[in-house]
Structure 1
Amino acid sequence: MMPIRYELVPDDQISLVKDLCNELMIYQKSLATFRPELFDGMSFETRMVPSVKNAKANHIIAAMDSDEIVGYVYSNVSPKEVYSSAFATFFDMDSVKGNDVGCLSQFYIKEGYRSMGIGSVLYDESKKWLDSFDGIHDQFIYVSNGNDAALNFYKSKGFKVSHQILDGFITVLRNT
């Protein structure tokens, strides 16, 4: 295995992470103890593409082993209203200080590459980018049910559990 390198993925090349994004949805469904069928309608086309389009700014970092993408993190800055839809309202709009929020939206590392420090590098790069926006005070991370490793990882990085949505299908973490 070569040293892992990290590359910024431009918005117009998000299809580079399509396979991993779809793998993430399958992985989340495999861990879900509650309403796993909700993942059946989730894919790169239904989750990432609309999110990238709705965001004011996007940040995708790929972890590369030679020419293979073995992990990625996707963060964005979006108008807070994006997080209120027919699917769910993700947080109390009045609790957000500004008009926009930061979100660490997707994070996935292929099996066999976990517990090697790649997640911490991807997280740190994402957090540095989110923190670079002066007007963004509120940052959120959404963890699907059953993904205790992710929940504990984000807690270890200082995020706090805020609340649950969709009757516990998703746990919302917040930076404050």
Structure 2
Amino acid sequence: MKNITIETITNGDIEQCRDLCNELMAFQKSKAFIAPEKFDLMTFDTRMKKSYESSMASQVVVIKDDGFPVGYVFSTIDVIDSSKNGFPEWAPKVENGKSFYPDWVELPQKIGCLNNLYLRDEYRALKFGSKLVEMSMEWLESFSDVNLIFIYISNGNDAALSFYLNRGFTFSHDVFGGFIKAVYKLKE
């Protein structure tokens, strides 16, 4: 490690997260025990870029080592209605499976989401993940009309689930029959 910087992307240049996002999808696939092949449909272009371009508001924070991206967090704010609570093409088809939002969430409403958090292995023990979550939550909570924040964790990624639960999130429900675990936080 040479020169660590943390930068919020303000010019729309999320392309610098392409490799990291694709590494995250491969990591999630390696951990998954439910439908790991579905991660083949999830890439920077189909997940992060698409969500970044379609959301009401987005924030991307990148950690760089000597100017080279080594980690990032991506968060969005969006008005969620019933049309955004369906089953996307990549989701495993399960009977009676719940989608992204549980029955207790009244739609439509403006909801925050911490979409992606990823650090390369050698940077994880340095607490950068905690710093990125802190920055994301600060941004998400800055919206006065957002009272609910979700994070979706891929099946098999128990370390990530514990990480968020230890930071005040509460388990909500299994999404798509357990393919994803949803956790949430109500804004105080």
TM-score class, shorter-chain normalisation, is: over 0.9
Q: CA deviation at 1:97?
A: 7.3
Moved over 6 A (4+): none
| 1:98 and 1:135 in contact (8 A); partners too | no
Q: CA deviation at 1:10?
A: 2.8
Matches within 5 A, 1:46-65: 46-65=46-65
Aligned partner letter, 1:46: T
Aligned partner letter, 1:69: P
Unaligned runs of 5+ in 2: 92-98
Aligned partner letter, 1:114: R
| 1:163 and 1:172 in contact (8 A); partners too | yes
Q: Tell me the equivalent position of 1:75.
A: 75
Aligned partner letter, 1:64: K
Q: Tell me the equivalent position of 2:28.
A: 28
More deviation, 75-84/149-158 = 75-84
Q: CA deviation at 1:79?
A: 1.3
2:182 to 166, 172, 175: 172
Residue 95 and residue 21 in structure 1: after superposition, are their counterparts in 2 closer, same or farther (change >3 A)? same
| 1:24 and 1:108 in contact (8 A); partners too | yes
Q: Tell me the equivalent position of 2:124.
A: 114
Distance 1:11 1:25 in 2: 24
Residue 135 and residue 166 in structure 1: after superposition, are their counterparts in 2 closer, same or farther (change >3 A)? same
Distance 1:157 1:3 in 2: 28
Structure whose residues are more often helix by fraction:
1
SS in 2 for 1:69: strand
**CA deviation map 1:44-86 (0-9, x unaligned):** 1100111012211100000111111110000010111364233
Aligned partner letter, 1:28: Q
Residue 85 and residue 54 in structure 1: after superposition, are their counterparts in 2 closer, same or farther (change >3 A)? farther
Matches within 5 A, 1:1-176: 1-10=1-10, 12-81=12-81, 83-87=84-88, 89-92=99-102, 95-96=105-106, 99-176=109-186
Unaligned runs of 5+ in 1: none
Q: CA deviation at 1:11?
A: 5.6
- Number of residue-to-residue matches in the alignment: 176
Aligned partner letter, 2:33: T
Distance 1:97 1:135 in 2: 14
TM-score by length of 2: 0.88
Distance 1:152 1:145 in 2: 12
Q: CA deviation at 1:35?
A: 0.7
**CA deviation map 1:105-143 (0-9, x unaligned):** 001001111111100110100000001000001100000
Q: Percent identity?
A: 39
SS in 2 for 1:95: coil
TM-score by length of 1: 0.94
Tell me how large the CA RMSD over aligned residues is: 1.6
